[in-house]
Chain A
Amino acid sequence: MKKVELGWILGRYNYWVFVILTLIGFYAMIAKNNLIKKIIGMNIFQTAIFLFYISIADIEGKRAPIIVSNITEHINYVNPLPHVLILTAIVVCVSTTAVALTLIMKIYQEFKTIEEDKIMEAL
């Protein structure tokens, strides 16, 4: 068993934030009654994952991976690949949200409510 120190926990605070946000988002998705709140939960969940990807790419004190003409040290930058992946994942997240909100709009037109228990009664 590795000895857990306070510094070890605090030094990885971005991962703790990832874990907490994931749990908040996941809870909201499965437990909230309001459909819009479920979608907010989904966005929190997905944003937490983006935070995780960006955290693993970052190295403290290193610069952005932009080529400058008089470059001497070529290892002195952060990994750009996860950032690019996250750009794609953001597009996926936005389109999922758009589809979900459109569905909620249609549901509201049909049922006149967006509370899940009232919809289940109406079915």
Chain B
Amino acid sequence: MIYIIIQNLPVLIVIIPLITAFLMPIIGLFKIRYCFYTSLISISITLLIGVLILNSVINDGTIHYHIGNWEPPYGIEYVIDYLNTFMILLITSVAFIITIYSRRSVEKELPNNIALFYTLFVLFITGLLGIVVTGDLFNLYVFLEITSLAAYTLISLGEKRDALIASFNYLIMGSIAACFILIGIGFIYTMTGSLNMADISIRLKDLYDSNVVHAAVIFFIVGLSIKIALFPLHTWLPNAYTHAPSTVTALIASLMSKVCIYIMIRILFSIFTVQFFLHTVPVGEILSWIAAIAIILGSINAIAQTDIKRMLAYSSVSQIGYIVLGMGLANYDGLTGSLLHILNHAFMKGCLFLTVGAIIYKTGIRNIYDFKGLAWKMPVTMLAFTIASLSMVGIPPLCGFFSKWYLALGSIKSGKWIFALVILLSSLLNAAYFFRILERALFGKYEHKTDEAPKSMLIPITIMAIGCIVFGIFGQFMEIISKSLI
């Protein structure tokens, strides 16, 4: 029995949350309170499976799992290597932390929709896990759409009516992106006759000069750029992040864009190799220039905002720029910086959005000019906010510094000094918009009565903040993953 379970871990990690999502509305009919516990149990099991998969990958190498015992080029194959394992652990651990947090937040913000919220929440995690375990392009598209549909609906749950418009705009943009990705998959299938990623990568080697393959790359890049909100295509992101419920914002900001970046890395580095996108079509060059513009303009836009959630949303646009910059450089240090920043940004932005959620939960403040003296009323929350924002700026012992260090190193090694300057300038801009909040929170007097957020919110926030410190010190393991990609 145990042996059978161990053998089928890669598919169980998708099936368990999927079944939970279907059971959730029924559980909600009996007792609304059990929805939270059910999703907590389900997410804990996936976290446990994630740890078991890590153990198996470290001991026995890459896992190949054939669904229904069909041989790879014909059937769907699940492949789990180091990068996938890292993404699985990132998704499950962040989801676990946010689930603990969600209980009080959802009770207050969505009192009528608790069962529906947890259904979509678990479905969202199913889609993300499906994307990272699959080794089949079309399967990846289907899971991407499951995730996106859950995300549209989660955003529309926001309390103001603006949330509906934000969600609708995201749906239109997301559908265009999905269509582009589907066309890209179609072109690749016409040329290679295969949907298995490893198989495609072998068959593409003779086709690097084909125009159809070049068109397919462009469709993939544009489609995925919309999904990850790369600069000129980011217009859905600020509204969606601002008007969604706090838990949903934290979830989408820390996981959705990261997983879409994972898809981009998979497609560029595993399907089309580095040789292809550096020399045949200058995708890397174009991406890193766009990313540099995204970094600067995202930061400048963030300075102009007064709503804290909107400010963090624009900051996300700029941080996504960092990750794409490292990817576009396509050298060893740049890619390590990118992967490390995926982890760091998930924790930093998750921590920031969770603290902001806790502040809104207790005081209802959204305008940054009202933060006066809040540090003395909610010390733990604001301490976590401080750690995460210092980490965003890139103060040395915290994790944000190390990813920026690798990115700067990568850009200097590839001879593009200007990108190192962009990173430095953007760090100063980051400091400008975070320090004005910290300054107001520390100095000044808070007029109204308030106290610290409940424990079930403080514990996740603290774990996230500790993560920001720990990953700075133990970030070296990322070099193993980037070595496997280049």
Chain A residues close to B by CB (< 8 Å): 22, 26, 29-30, 35, 38, 42, 45-46, 49, 52-53, 56, 82, 85, 88-89, 92, 95-96, 99-100, 103-104, 106-107, 110-111, 119, 123
Partner of A49, one of B145, B149, B162, B179: B179
Listed by A's residue number, 30 A-B pairs whose Cβ atoms lie within 8 Å are A22-B183, A29-B175, A29-B176, A30-B172, A42-B172, A42-B175, A42-B179, A45-B175, A49-B182, A49-B183, A49-B186, A52-B186, A53-B186, A56-B190, A82-B189, A85-B138, A88-B138, A89-B182, A96-B145, A96-B178, A99-B152, A100-B168, A100-B171, A100-B175, A103-B152, A103-B156, A103-B167, A104-B168, A107-B165, A111-B161
Interface residues of B in 141-193 (CB under 8 A from A): 141-142, 145, 149, 152-153, 156, 161-162, 164-165, 167-168, 171-172, 175-176, 178-179, 182-183, 186, 189-190
Instruction: Kindly state the separation between the CA atoms of A106 and B156 in the bound complex, as whole angstroms.
Output: 10
* Complex interface bits, B188-200 against A, C-beta within 8 A gives 1, otherwise 0: 0110000000000
For the complex formed, measure the closest distance between the CB of B305 and the CB atoms of chain A, giving whole angstroms: 17
Instruction: Give bound CA distance, A109 to B161, whole Å.
Output: 10
CA distance A85 to B186 in the complex (A): 10
Partner of B168, one of A45, A53, A92, A103: A103
Q: In the complex the two chains form, is A56's CB within 8 Å of B175's CB? A: no
Knowing that A30-B176, A45-B176, A96-B149 touch, tell me 9 more A-B residue pairs with CB under 8 angstroms.
Answer: A30-B172, A42-B175, A49-B182, A49-B183, A56-B190, A89-B182, A95-B145, A96-B171, A103-B152
**A35 close to B161 (CB less than 8 A):** no
A-B Cβ contacts below 8 A, count = 70
| B156 contacts across to A, CB distance below 8 A | 103, 106
Q: How far is the CB of A117 from chain B (nearest CB, A)?
A: 12
Q: Is the interface of B mostly helix, strand, loop or mixed?
A: helix
Chain A nearest CB, measured from B61 CB (Å): 30
Give the shortest distance, in Å, between A38 (CB) and chain B (any CB). Answer: 6
Number of interface residues of B (CB under 8 A): 25
Q: List the interface of chain B (C-beta within 8 A of A).
A: 138, 141-142, 145, 149, 152-153, 156, 161-162, 164-165, 167-168, 171-172, 175-176, 178-179, 182-183, 186, 189-190
Chain A residue nearest to B152 in the complex (CB): A99
Known: A45-B179, A52-B186. A95 touches B171 (CB 8 A): no
Chain B residues within 8 Å of A96, by CB: 145, 149, 171, 175, 178
Closest to B162 in A: A123
* A22 / chain B contacts, CB cutoff of 8 Å: 183
Contact A99 B153 (CB under 8 A): yes
CB of B149 within 8 A of CB of A56, answer no
Task: Name the residue on B nearest A106 (C-beta).
Answer: B164
Q: Are B171 and A88 neighbours in the complex by a CB distance under 8 Å?
A: no
Q: Assess whether A52 is in contact with B183, with CB atoms less than 8 Å apart.
A: yes
The interface centre, meaning the residue of B142, B176, B183, B186 with most chain A CB atoms within 10 A of its CB, is B186
Chain B: CB-nearest residue to A98: B149
Q: How far is the CA of A88 from the CA of B141 in the complex (A)?
A: 10
Q: Is the CB of B165 within 8 A of A99?
A: no
- Are A107 and B168 also in contact (CB < 8 A) when A56-B186, A92-B145 are? yes
- A92 with B186: in contact, given A123-B162, A123-B165 (CB under 8 Å)? no
Contacts of B149 in A (CB 8 A): 95-96, 99
Known: A45-B179, A85-B138. A35 touches B186 (CB 8 A): no
With a cutoff of 8 Å between Cβ atoms, the chain B residues found around residue A26 in the complex are: 176
Give the most central of B161, B175, B179, B186: most A CB within 10 Å: B175
A14 to B121, CA, bound (A): 41
B186 contact set on A, CB distance < 8 A: 49, 52-53, 56
